[in-house]
Every structure is written in structure tokens, then in C-alpha cells.
Structure 1
């Protein structure tokens, strides 16, 4: 692959051969467009984090195998060795760092709020006090919304699409999710019946990174070395730029 140095490739290949299996099982979700999703034409996993994991696997001279998993089940799958790494739109939070190790950050962004397409409100969080809002189970946004303590209910959903459906139908006032993912889905699917809240201030900005089991420090070192090479060469920016990130 372009931009790879022979010295680094050789060193990583040696480490991989000594410390890890030939297969490189990557946990992803199908609802994380444009980070991780299934191409409807090929029916194969694709997205920025899929391409990144494939490039890392090539550096390690391993064969990437993508395991489609619900977002909330990704960390449990990693802890039980069902997968080797998580490569999704997952923030490297302090809480998650207690149970898994994260790579060097590869992308940063905040949350977005969305409402029904015919809702003209320019909401901030405080404006939604007393309302029912929704977020995806297992996300940092769900935890942050619940910690606010200002909503009548924070409903938890398995997927972003389910949240958008309930917002459109008026079952909940607003939904929250990863801004790049929400923006991409709305742009690609006008029929969803929801829109981003203009001027909304995110609860925070997080760093996306790959997650590795705490008992595999050698693999984490190899992943970080590959990321560093891609950052230096510009390939990392190319991968994310391909998906409008």
C-alpha cells in the first residue's frame, strides 16, 4: 500500500507473526454511517473506520475479518475475545478506558440534536427541559443526557434510525447522536422526516479511536505505529476525506 516504509512494514509483520493470530477480527456496527455501514450494492462493510482497519491489517500483514455487532455489544465482544479490535465511531472516554485500551485518536467531533422536519425551534439543551428525548444505548450522549436530569425521560434505542422514526412520529421531542453520522444520514435520506437543529451547541467534543483489549498491549503498539505512519503520510486524512469527514 502506498506511503508504507519497508522498514516499518517488516517490523510490524515480525511483531504480528510473533504475538497475534493471522486473522484480524474487527468489530463494527452497521448504523454508523459514514464510519461503519454496509454498502447496499456490494452488501459488504464499508466506511471510514472500515477502510482504516483494513489499512492497519495490511500493515500488520493480517487478514481483516469484520464482525457486525450492535454498538452496545462491541466492548463485551472485545473483552471476551470474540473480536481483536473495535473500529467504529466510538469515543475514547474515561469510563471506557477503565475496561479497554484506546489507540491514538483518529477523528474528533461532537453531538448533534435533531427534531421533526417541520419543527422550527432553534433549541439548546435547556430549551428541551421537561421533554422526552432519545439517544442510542451505550453512547456517551445517552449518559450525558441522563446526567443532566432536566428531561421527563431519556429513551434509549438500539439504533439511530429508530430514534429518527420516533422523532418524525412525534413520540419524542428530539434525538441526539454523532454529528457526522446524523448529518450524513439526513443528507442521504430526505424522507427520514427529521432535520438538524441549527446553532445547537454540542455537549462536548470527543476523540474517536480504535479499542483493544487491555491484555493485548503488543497489538495496541502495532495499531498505534500504523496510525502514526498514516498520519505522517497523509493517508489517514485521505481515508476520512473519502467519506466527507
Structure 2
């Protein structure tokens, strides 16, 4: 017969163990957002500046982290439906997005770049591409801005920058527009891509990159902001960004 004194002890141990169990934060990333988020070819594991930052934030707040790979346009739906708890990718803060999700303190800022085939030596301006077909990444802030100009024959939308680069090389579009750090990193690491950055291009939009949580998750947002502020002060954020040339 189990002693009536043992049962409360077992219950107390179980409650203590449950209390000590770490929370797991599921973080949404993209596989093609080099150098912010991507899958390392050698290890097949998520890596990049925003992956490292999310990992550091989770450790700072005493949580485990699990990464979920999504196409960029699927990140916000995954967050709002509870499939992920946090977005840590190359996502700009915009008023439209702020209606749906909440952003953290910004951690980086940049604009888009224009790229053309490597054999094309012209450093085009927007006006010089009048009537030409160009490409932009679906869901990006500058895709709408490019379409609104009414200059191009067509602004084709792509799921990935890699697909856009392929169409530039094949001559299906004259130029592509992508996040400058991502495009520059990919070109520097793989000169055989067959594309180059257009010199002197001035971006239509310069945005601020931040992490994001669902509207009803103010506790996680506060924890993330506290960690970011701490990392800005102690140099950890700069260290993470510089590791990836940012």
C-alpha cells in the first residue's frame, strides 16, 4: 500500500518538473533568404543571421527553439494561424503588415537591388527599362512599388530570387529586383550564377527588418524586445550581423 505521505511528494515532484520544462518557440524562416535565413548545403540545417538571432533570443529567455521552413508569402499566414510563434526572416516592417501582426524592435535596414545578366554591361535606370519585363519577389514591399510605376511591360512575381535569376540569365526578363543583402551575398558566393548587380541603382524602398509575433502574443513580443535591446547594448547583435557580411 502506498503511503499517504508519498503521494503528495510524487505530485510535488511532478509539478516541479513541469514548471522547469522549457517552452519551445517555433520560428518561421525561409530557405532562400541568404544571408538572413537559408539551409546550409553541408549540414542541411537552418542558418543565417536571423536564425542565429532567434536562437540567441530563445536562449536568453530560457526557451528551446524549433525552426519551420516556409515560402516567404506563407510566413504571415503561418503566424496568424498559430503554426509558428515567431517570424525571424528578412521581413520589412510595413503599415499593412502591422494591421495583421506585431513587429519587434528593428534589427537591420536595407533596400532592394537591381540585377541583370552578367554579360549585360549597362547600368540601367528605371526609365531605361520602359516597356521591358522585369521580376520581383512575391510578397516583397517593392513588388507593389514597381507595379505602381506603370513603366514596365510586366512585373513578374517569383517565389524565390533563384528562380528570378534563372529567368534573367535565360532572357525571359530584362532585370530582377531583390533584397540587396540577399542578392549581393548570393552573387559573391557563386560568381557562376550569371547575373550582376546594377551599379548606381537607388532603391525605391528602404525598409527596416524586424521579428514578428501574432497580435495576441504580447508576452513573447516583450521578451523578444528585451533580448534585442540587450544584444544591441552588449554588441551581440552587431556580432551576429557581421558574421554574415551585414
TM-score by structure 1 length? 0.91
2:43 aligned partner: 42
Cα shift readout 1:107-129 (whole Å, capped 9, x = no counterpart): 00111000000111111212211
Cα distance in 2 for partners of 1:233, 1:126 equals 45
Cα distance in 2 for partners of 1:98, 1:150 equals 30
Cα distance in 1 for partners of 2:170, 2:177 equals 16
Q: How far is 1:52 from its partner?
A: 0.1
1:142 aligned partner: 143
Question: Would you identify which runs of 4 or more consecutive aligned residues in structure 1 move more than 3 Å?
Answer: none
Cα shift readout 1:172-207 (whole Å, capped 9, x = no counterpart): 000000000000001111111100001111112110
Identify unmatched segments of 5+ residues in structure 2.
1-18
Identify unmatched segments of 5+ residues in structure 1.
1-16
1:182 aligned partner: 183
1:113 aligned partner: 114
Cα distance in 2 for partners of 1:147, 1:30 equals 28
The answer to whether residue 84 in structure 2 is matched with residue 83 in structure 1 is yes
Cα distance in 2 for partners of 1:37, 1:137 equals 18
Cα distance in 2 for partners of 1:133, 1:169 equals 13
Superposed, 1:14-163 pairs within 5 Å as 22-163=23-164
**Greater radius of gyration (CA):** 2
Cα distance in 2 for partners of 1:126, 1:140 equals 20
Q: How far is 1:88 from its partner?
A: 0.3
Superposed, 1:157-236 pairs within 5 Å as 157-236=158-237
TM-score by structure 2 length? 0.90
* Kept after mapping to 1: 8 A contact 2:142/2:205: no
Cα shift readout 1:19-57 (whole Å, capped 9, x = no counterpart): xx8110000001000000111111100000000000000
Cα distance in 2 for partners of 1:64, 1:157 equals 29
* Kept after mapping to 1: 8 A contact 2:29/2:37: yes
2:8 aligned partner: none
SS in 2 for 1:172: coil
2:245 aligned partner: 244
